[in-house]
Amino acid sequence: MLVDMNSTLRWAGERGCAVAAFDTPNLEILLAVIDAAERREEPIIIQHAELHEEVTHLAVIGPIMMDRARDASVPICVMLDHAVDIAYVEQALDIGFTAIMYDGSDKPFDENVEMTRKVVDICAGTGADVEAEIGVTYGHEGKVDPSDAGSVAVTGAYTDPDEAARFVKATGIDALAASFGTVHGFYKAEPKLDFDRIVATREAAGVPLVMHGGSGLTREDTRRAISCGIRKINYFSYMSHAGVEGVRDLFARGEVKYFHQIASAAQAAMSKDAEAAMEMFSMR
């Protein structure tokens, strides 16, 4: 069933856990994560990132995401992830997306506030919820870690709790993506997570916090972050790579004649990985 982001965040808040948010740039990944959610009977968020436009056009995958969400046996929010272009936001809303993540984190504070406020105003007319970002999560979206070491122990990268509070008040967003040491994509070194910053930011901002770069963290660190106040975790890279490993295993077992065998093997492996991630996020 199709729901908004805030309902999934309330579900997570009531249980002291985090809702899983999966980028789903193609059909196999989309079906994989919905299968996992239905097996666990838990809500999820499915997302299309603006940077994945080159993988599958929003105009193509967006309506399919909406259809699958409506038909699912569990609550599913359909969200635009890391949007930077207002026209792209409007396109997602026209398709029916129920949440928008606007990313102005690379802009000066006042400009980030101005653009985020504009997105909030646009979404208000559709009922869509809004997530935005303060601080820098390196990896994708053109934000390369200058240390090239897999952590974000770089001046100005971590979210400042007081700045986060001012940002939330000025924009009226529903959830805040905060930076405390995670990285988009694959980790090159052990991340240095600032858990005290999560607590301080959650208390100062007063809205649910989102962890980007959820792949690759240890179970212990993930659950500690959730205990500190994370209520939504974006998870993609390691799940997508699980699909690659599923295909490798298929070829290792013998001759492959049809493409659909490859697609099915990848989908099954990704669904298993997504289910494991959801179990980790559930705190039970």
**The dihedral formed by the CA atoms of 256, 261, 263 and 269, expressed in degrees to the nearest 10:** -100
Cβ distance 99 to 88 under 8 Å?
no
Give yes or no for residue 136 having a pLDDT over 70: no
Distance of CA 267 to the CA centre of its chain: 19
* pTM tops 0.85, yes or no: yes
The Cα–Cα gap between 31 and 15 comes to 26
Give the angle 53-183-187 at the CA atoms, nearest 5°. Answer: 105
Position 182 confidence tier, pLDDT thresholds 50, 70, 90: confident
Instruction: Supply the pLDDT for residue 190.
Output: 60
pLDDT tens sequence across 246-279: 999 999 999 999 999 999 999 999 999 999 999 9
The catalytic position among 4, 23, 35, 81 is 81
Give yes or no for residue 153 having a pLDDT over 50: no
Choose among 58, 108, 111: nearest CA to 82: 58
* CATH number belonging to domain 2-281: 3.20.20.70
Give yes or no for residue 144 having a pLDDT over 70: no
The Cα–Cα gap between 268 and 158 comes to 36
Choose among 69, 4, 1: nearest CA to 208: 4
Give yes or no for residue 88 having a pLDDT over 70: yes
Give yes or no for residue 21 having a pLDDT over 50: yes
Choose among 32, 49, 38: nearest CA to 212: 49
Average pLDDT over residues 4-17: 98
Tally of CB atoms within 10 A around 75:
19
pLDDT tens sequence across 97-119: 999 999 999 899 999 999 999 99
pLDDT tens sequence across 194-244: 899 999 999 999 999 999 987 778 899 999 999 999 999 999 999 999 999
The helix (run of H) or strand (run of E) holding residue 100 is strand 99-102
The Cα–Cα gap between 54 and 85 comes to 15
Beta bridge partners of 78: 46
Average model confidence (pLDDT) across the chain = 91
Give yes or no for residue 135 having a pLDDT over 90: no
What DSSP designation does 283 have? T
| Count of CA atoms in the C-beta half-sphere (13 A) of 90 | 6
Distance linking the first and last C-alpha atoms of the chain: 24
Give yes or no for residue 172 having a pLDDT over 50: yes
Six-digit token string for 42:
């838990």
Instruction: Supply the pLDDT for residue 145.
Output: 46
Cβ distance 154 to 145 under 8 Å?
yes
pLDDT tens sequence across 47-56: 999 999 999 9
Instruction: Supply the pLDDT for residue 147.
Output: 46
Position 156 confidence tier, pLDDT thresholds 50, 70, 90: low
Six-digit token string for 149:
């070491």
Told to judge if 81 belongs to the known catalytic residues of this protein, a careful annotator would answer yes
> Following DSSP, what letter does each residue of 96-117 receive, concatenated?
T-SEEEE--TTS-HHHHHHHHH
Q: Lowest-confidence range among 126-130, 137-141, 179-183, 208-212?
A: 137-141
Pairing state between β 2-3 and 19-23:
unpaired
Average pLDDT over residues 178-193: 69
The Cα–Cα gap between 135 and 161 comes to 10
Choose among 33, 32, 36, 45: nearest CA to 75: 45
